[in-house]
Amino acid sequence: GENVEQHPSTLSVQEGDSAVIKCTYSDSASNYFPWYKQELGKGPQLIIDIRSNVGEKKDQRIAVTLNKTAKHFSLHITETQPEDSAVYFCAASRRGGGNKLTFGTGTQLKVEL
């Protein structure tokens, strides 16, 4: 089955700096890669996703890049703000293969003033 590794487990940045979280996946048939933000006491919220037919996607301050050859994808957050502090999870799935999401281990992002 799919295995998703995520790094780093914790990340501390100064407000206004950029943050990068990286994930690798094992199943070359995976074709959908969402990122979730989970704030304390809440369920995960989808913040951005990418499909395997594109290499990059951007939405305001967040962007995701995908390298299918290397089987890794990354989340980039620019101009970080204190409200970006949360746990971020990457995930991978193979649409049409049960559509099951396999999650990474999570990154605790702390944006310091």
Collapse the DSSP code of 47 into the 3-class scheme (helix H, G, I; strand E, B; otherwise coil) and give the result: strand
Rounded to a whole number of angstroms, the minimum distance from the CB of residue 25 to another protein is 14
Residue placing its CB nearer to another protein in the complex, 58 or 100: 100
Residue placing its CB nearer to another protein in the complex, 13 or 87: 87
What are the residues facing 32 on neighbouring strands?
Answer: 51, 93
Q: Which two tokens stand for residue 71?
A: 């089987």
Rounded to a whole number of angstroms, the minimum distance from the CB of residue 43 to another protein is 4
Judged by the rule CB under 8 A, the positions of this chain that interact with another protein are 32, 34, 36, 41-46, 49, 51, 89, 93, 95-96, 98-106
CA distances from 43 to 26, 36, 37, 68, 85 (A): 26, 9, 9, 29, 15
Rounded to a whole number of angstroms, the minimum distance from the CB of residue 83 to another protein is 18
